[in-house]
Amino acid sequence: MTRQQEFTPSRRQFARLAATSLAVALSAASLAMLPTSAGAIGVAVPLGTASSYAVLAGQSVTNTGPSTINGDLGVSPGTAVSGFPPGTVNGTIHSADANSLQAQSDLTTAYNDAAGQAPDASISGDLGGQTLTAGVYKAPSSIGLTGTLTLDAQGDPNAVFIFQIGSTLTTASASRVLLVNGAQPCNVYWQVGSSATLGTASTFVGNILALTSITVTTNTTINGRALARNGSVTLDSDTITPSTCATGGTTGGTTGGTTGGTTGGTTGGTTGGTTGGTTGGTTGGTTGGTTGGTTGGTTGGTTGGTTGGSTGGTTGGTVPCPPVPCPPVPCPPAPCPPHPW
């Protein structure tokens, strides 16, 4: 009886155990609410010349309806491109030329780079409803997307998201990829082991690097690229716009240089103009005044002296006769003698 009482927890011990269990449960729940984060940071995948392409295929590109391609469109080694018009390509169409051949070579390099980066988190099933931070995510087989997938850069515009998908990528109608806190479409990569299919009226973000084919169904928007290595790209009234990353250094340097140049030029011009004007005016005024005064004084003095001297000399040396004419004899230098009358 005594031994049983020794091992029976008291009420106070039960209370402590319950409090500890509750704390663990709350902690787990709070962690579950945070964005899922990969342990490592992925490195941006170099696309090379393929970066100028919005659409690139291995065999053919087929379009239905008024699709808008805001970039180059190419195919290699295949040659077939159809549906433009009614589709519009705001770029250049390359069909089995040297440009598209090089782009396909660079796409292969990019595909292998994305596939070769070390994964640090696994994904499976459907990505809808999840929030992921920067990292490399690996799906052993197919992956789907229903609803919204949020990619959170956490304030880092250079955050890279890489999805390594073993088989197919399929998105549902009206699904979307949402970027928050500075995430950029140019830093999102989908390396697809076979083919990708994007659902009707979906909004997709990132660069699709597919081994085989890509099917983009009606009224889908891609803020990124549809690049297929071996198969075809099929479009239907879609809009595809490649994204290029903006770098803070280049932007800041350009902006700073332009602003500094403009400000410096304006300030320097104004200061130089004012200083030059003031200096020039003062110097010119002083020099002009001195020179003018000296020249004027000298000229005036000389002229005045000469004129005054001549006039004074002539006037002073000649004595006018009285009103009555003098005798016909010229007056001597002294005044005329008084007349007897």
Rg of the chain's alpha carbons, rounded to an integer? 48
Tens of pLDDT, residues 40-95: 579 999 999 999 999 999 999 999 999 999 999 999 999 999 999 999 999 999 99
**pLDDT for the residue numbered 283:** 45
Q: What pLDDT digit, counting tens, does each position of 124-153 carry?
A: 999 999 999 999 999 999 999 999 999 999
Please tell me the distance from the alpha carbon of residue 35 to that of residue 131, in angstroms, as a whole number: 5
Residue type, 339: H
Give the pLDDT of residue 177. Answer: 98
SS3 category, 187: helix
CA distances from 152 to 122, 180, 211 (A): 17, 5, 27
- Within 10 angstroms of residue 69's Cβ, the number of other Cβ atoms is 26
pLDDT of residue 28: 42
What is the pLDDT averaged over residues 273-294?
Answer: 41
Q: What are phi and psi of 27, to 5 degrees?
A: -60, -45
Which tens digit of pLDDT belongs to each residue from 295-335?
Answer: 433 343 334 334 433 433 333 334 344 444 444 545 455 55
Specify the pLDDT at position 216: 98
Burial group, residue 78, by CB count within 10 angstroms (0-12, 13-18, 19+) = middle
Are 56 and 227 a contacting pair, CB within 8 Å?
A: yes
- How much of the chain is in helix, strand and coil states, percent to nearest 5? 35, 25, 35
Report the pLDDT averaged over residues 246-266.
44
Q: Write the pLDDT tens digit of every residue in 187-245.
A: 999 999 999 999 999 999 999 999 999 999 999 999 999 999 999 999 999 999 999 88
Neighbours of 214 (CB within 10 A): 28
Whether this prediction's pTM lies above 0.85 is answered by: no
Task: Please give the Cα distance from 55 to 209 (Å, whole number).
Answer: 11
Element (H, E) at 93: strand 93-95
- Whether 189 contacts 114, CB under 8 Å: yes
The total number of residues shown for the chain amounts to: 341
Taking residue 318's Cβ as centre, other Cβ atoms within 10 Å add up to: 10
pLDDT tens-place string over residues 150-182: 999 999 999 999 999 999 999 999 999 999 999
3-state DSSP call for residue 75? strand
Confidence (pLDDT) at 245: 87
Residue that wins the pLDDT comparison between 108 and 335: 108
Separation between Cα atoms, residue 210 and residue 192, nearest integer Å: 5
The residue whose two tokens read 């140019």 is 186
Q: Average pLDDT in the 263-285 region?
A: 42
Q: Which residue has the higher pLDDT, 215 or 254?
A: 215
